[in-house]
């Protein structure tokens, strides 16, 4: 498919917006992936609010200009697709790593998280983190723990007094 200059400019502009807006962009090599597998991957990612785009490397290189993803500029070699995540970077990494385990033709080449380049190993490590909701729940339990301990300590004083008074009354009754 041959794109006109206007179509290329529109595509570069669209990709530039995605690179600027995404908090994570993961670069993949999809050589050897069947169309049905690529469609399955797109559906899995779309269900999580992640976009998966394929384009020419020259257009990707132009699109990353003046964005936090500019560190990827020299990584666009060979067939590439980029997964754009806008909310939880862990979900994007998890889904791509899980899919690449079942489909070895999908190779993770690297990515960018909030303007910092990530190697494949970094993305695999990111995929092993708990999801955003689990991390927030853990943080909440850590924040609540001191107040819970204080309440239990303060409740223990009257409880011990009550036990002492009850023991005294049982002793007098006996």
User: What is the DSSP-derived secondary structure letter of residue 114?
Assistant: T
DSSP-derived 3-state class of residue 52: strand
- What pLDDT is attached to residue 115? 87
What is the Cα 88 distance to its own chain's centre? 4
Mean pLDDT, residues 1-12 taken together: 86
Q: Is 90 exceeded by the pLDDT of residue 92?
A: yes
The answer to whether residues 32 and 105 touch, using CB atoms and an 8 Å cutoff, is yes
Phi, psi of 2 (to 5 degrees): -100, 125
Domain positions in the chain are 5-129, 130-174
Residue 1: pLDDT band with limits 50, 70, 90: low
Q: Is the dihedral of CA 122, 125, 131, 136 positive or negative?
A: negative
Query: Could you report the per-residue pLDDT of 43-81, keeping only the tens digit for each?
Result: 999 999 999 999 999 999 999 999 999 999 889 998 899
Task: Select the more confidently predicted residue: 131 or 94.
Answer: 94
CA–CA gap between residue 169 and residue 113 (Å, rounded): 67
Query: Could you report the per-residue pLDDT of 124-154, keeping only the tens digit for each?
Result: 999 998 877 888 888 888 888 888 777 888 8
- What pLDDT is attached to residue 16? 93
- What pLDDT is attached to residue 95? 94
5-129: what fold? Alpha-Beta Plaits (3.30.70)
Mean pLDDT, residues 2-6 taken together: 85
For residue 25, give Cα distances in angstroms to 140, 168, 170.
Answer: 29, 70, 72
């Amino acid at each position: 498919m041959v794109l006109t200059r206007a179509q290329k400019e529109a595509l570069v502009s669209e990709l530039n917006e995605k690179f600027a807006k995404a908090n994570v962009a993961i670069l993949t090599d999809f050589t050897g992936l069947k169309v049905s597998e690529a469609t399955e991957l797109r559906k899995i990612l779309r269900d999580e609010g992640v976009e998966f785009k394929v384009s020419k490397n020259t257009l990707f290189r132009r699109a990353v200009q003046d964005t936090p993803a500019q560190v990827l500029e020299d990584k666009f070699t060979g067939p590439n697709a980029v997964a754009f995540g806008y909310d939880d970077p862990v979900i994007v990494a998890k889904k791509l790593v899980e899919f690449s385990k079942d489909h070895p033709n999908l190779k993770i080449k690297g990515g960018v998280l909030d303007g910092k380049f990530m190697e494949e190993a970094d993305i695999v490590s990111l995929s092993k983190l708990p999801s955003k909701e689990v991390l927030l729940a853990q943080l909440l339990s850590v924040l609540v723990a001191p107040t819970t301990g204080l309440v239990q300590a303060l409740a223990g004083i009257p409880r011990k007094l009550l036990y002492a008074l009850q023991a005294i009354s049982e002793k007098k009754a006996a």
